[in-house]
Structure 1
Amino acid sequence: MAEDTQVVCRFVTRMPEEYRITATPFAVPARLSRYGLSEVVNHLLSLETPKPFDFIVEGQLVRGSLEKVLLAKNISAETTVTVEYIPAVSPPSPEAQGQHKDWISSVDGSHSKFVVSGSYDGLARVWTSGGKCKAELSGHTSSVTAVAVLPSSNNTLMVLTASKDCTARLWEVTTTGTAVARTTAMFRGNQDAIECIAAGPDGSQMCTGGCDGTVRLWNWSETAGGE
């Protein structure tokens, strides 16, 4: 589309009456982003305090220019485009922050009270929902590439980790008082770095995927090799 291309739009909304503008289509520059479109709608509404809006075209949020959405949806600029506007959704703000010393490779937040992270610094860490490091899982001799939380009791967190050191580990972490983390099983058998790990729904088995091109299924008793 040319830089000065105009698109005929019909603006609609499900918001209350005071936020509705004329249903008569009119032309706007195709280069407008959601900020420019917000200015258009605010001007037509004559609001004392400008209100930010998001815009939807055929189910897709306008996150670049209107032109990019039309191209992505294969909509001709010569047609009348229905644009729905809704209250803008603010981006989420972090409630807490925890630090590793290197890239974070994986995170498991499936537990109701704790989050587990794995990092290229060779550690996995258990964090409280408030961002406090509850425990460090130290034992791998290379980067931790994947973590997974198993079904756990009230006072114990069971965690799986995988590493570029070609091993996986099962950890038991006490979560009351001063946390204590210990390795309860180590799984050797992969001939190259393990990149992913997952546990069965009942927590009795796990599988690993490695750079050696294998997927291995393990029982907890098989700490020296895999199936």
Structure 2
Amino acid sequence: MEEMKKNVDILVKFFTKQSQYAVPGVSVSVPADASNEVLNEIIKTYICQGSKIKAENVPTFDFIVEGQILRRVLDLHLQKLGISFENVIKIEYFERLPPPTPKDSLMHDDWVSSVHCSQDWLLTGCYDNTLHLWDVKKLGGTKISQAHKLTIPAHNAPVKAVTWVDSESDIKTFISTSIDQAAYVWTWDSKANSVECVSRGCGHTQSVECVAVDQLKSLFVTGSWDTRLKIWALDDKKPDTNDQRDNEEEGETKKKKSQGNKIHKMTPLLTMAGHSENVGGVVWTDVSEIASASWDHTVRIWDTDIGGIKSQIVGNCAFFSISWSPLNKTLITGCADNFIRLYDPRSSEGTVCQQKFASHTKWVPSVMWSATNQFTFVSGGFDNTVKQWDSRSPKAPLYDLVGHKRKVLTVDWSYSKYIISGSEDCTVKAYTAKV
């Protein structure tokens, strides 16, 4: 029976969206047990016959069969999906992404809990209460010290989240949050390399775990161990005389506190209650819509106009992190059962997971969609690994990015050129990525 199975052929029709590698759209016969390597050889032959491209210049391809990337031999893939061998099987092929390559390792004095990278600047947050600013263009240089721009003694407790608001103008703006229950808005003059804390968000009663800025860059939302979400106005920066008096009386000595007479104490525009445990991640999914992930086993979609819950997704374990893709309109979450889950909040079956990704062997505290590719994302795990995924390949990641020696606490792919990760090993790793 096994010998007969190997002699079976299947009719397939290859197609691609990359016109330079297109082949004639005719049905061809391939072995039923064809592997990815065998299909690559077949495609390479057709491409070389129909064009002037030399064999050595033909890239390696991945293949999509019935919406999933082929990770096993063709017949087993079809059997798993319940597809009849008698049909003509349409197979899309696309150039395989090269593996991300290590670019730099940036040392810190304590655990790195949060990172956010723009085209020019990298912002990192640390468990020694500090923030760090790095020059992205100098990553990979022989002297790492040239990439480091500034250390900011920012908080009274470990930093938990950081995000850029504006990293392109002359005066750049970013936000940090901390176990000290506060959110700070900062401005940085990169030419003078001087930083100023201009606003302090007060109102949470426990650690502020996560932060996200809306698409208009006028509001930001924070999530906390106190189970609440709070929305703040970014233009709420005018000095407050009472706050000035408070800061002067406190006699704080850190750099930001020495500028206390300029720090305005913000109050939240809106507080949203509904979660029963820690809010681990927040994202804006629309101008007036937020998604939050919580340890209470739920993802909640909030309407900021009414200040209430629109819908919720109920899971069977804690949700640690969440990422939204404006390209495909879906959410991914990192979970306590070591899985990553994909949800489409537009689905009428809101409690049903659209896809589940298995490979991490411990908790997944951080996930992030690619900013430029609707199918790819990265994850960081307590198993010391960073993984690059394609949403069409749920059973295995595209690549494992090794290098960290301890738990990975945070990942970022906001700038398509670099995958950035931070770890308990006190390093930030930068991997060069292609999409």
| Length-normalised TM-score, structure 2 | 0.42
Question: Displacement of 1:22 after TM fit?
Answer: 7.4
Change (3 A) 1:96 1:19: farther
Aligned counterparts, 1:93-104, within 5 A: 93=101, 98-100=106-108, 101-104=110-113
Corresponding residue for residue 191 of structure 1: 205
User: What residue ranges of structure 1 are gaps of 5+ in the alignment?
Assistant: none
Choose from 115, 118, 130 the match for 2:125: 118
Q: 1:25 aligns with which of 26, 29, 44?
A: 29
Aligned residue in 2 for 1:105: 114
Post-superposition offset of 1:163 = 1.5
- Cα distance in 1, alignment partners of residues 74 and 128 from structure 2: 43
Change (3 A) 1:139 1:50: closer
Describe how 1:120-199 pairs up with structure 2 within 5 A: 120-130=127-137, 131=139, 132-151=147-166, 154-177=169-192, 179-199=193-213
The whole-number CA distance in structure 2 between the counterparts of 1:198 and 1:92 is 27
Match for 1:107: what amino acid?
A: H
Letter in 2 for 1:84: E
Q: Is the 8 A contact 1:57 1:82 kept in 2?
A: yes
Distance 1:69 1:182, change over 3 A: farther
What is the number of residues matched between the two proteins?
Answer: 221
Q: CA deviation at 1:200?
A: 4.7
Contact 1:137/1:182 (8 A) holds in 2: no
Alpha-carbon distance between aligned partners in 1 of 2:126 and 2:184, rounded to the nearest angstrom = 15
- Structure 1 residue 223 corresponds to structure 2 residue 265: yes
Cα pair distance change 1:170/1:79, threshold 3 Å: same
Aligned to 1:35: 37
1:35-54 aligned within 5 A: 35-42=37-44, 49=56, 51=58, 52-54=60-62
Tell me how far 1:153 sits from its aligned partner: 7.5
Q: Which moved more, 1:72-81 or 1:129-138?
A: 72-81
Aligned to 2:14: 12
- How large is the RMSD of aligned CA atoms in angstroms? 3.9
Q: Which range moved further: 98-107 or 66-75? A: 66-75
| 2:89 equivalent among 81, 85, 106 | 81
Whole-Å separation in 1 of the counterparts to 2:22 and 2:169: 51
Displacement of 1:150: 2.4
Amino acid at match of 2:191: T
Task: Judge conservation of contact 1:136–1:181 (CA < 8 Å) in 2.
Answer: no
CA distance in 1, matches of 2:201, 2:186: 12
Give the partner amino acid of 2:10: V
Contact 1:70–1:77 (CA under 8 A) maintained in structure 2: yes
**What's the CA shift for 1:141?**
3.3
- Look up the equivalent residue of 2:30 and give its one-letter code: F
Q: Is the 8 A contact 1:108 1:147 kept in 2?
A: no
AA in 1 matched with 2:14 = V
Larger Rg: 1
CA contact (8 A) 1:9 1:83 kept: no
SS across alignment from 1:147? strand
1:65-116 Cα offsets, whole Å, 9 max, x none, are 545753665423454422233443424546555444424434252xx53232
How does the TM-score come out when normalised to structure 1? 0.72
Letter in 2 for 1:209: G
AA matched with 1:198 = A
SS at match of 1:213: coil
Q: In the alignment, is the contact (CA less than 8 A) between 1:12 and 1:84 conserved in 2?
A: yes
Which stretch of structure 1 is more off in the superposition, 84-93 or 164-173? 84-93
Q: Cα distance, 1:7 vs. partner? A: 6.5
CA deviations over 1:161-218 (Å, ceiling 9, x no partner): 11122111112222014x2223223223211111222345565543311121111233
Say which SS state the counterpart of residue 98 (structure 2) adopts: coil
Q: Secondary structure at the match of 1:24?
A: strand
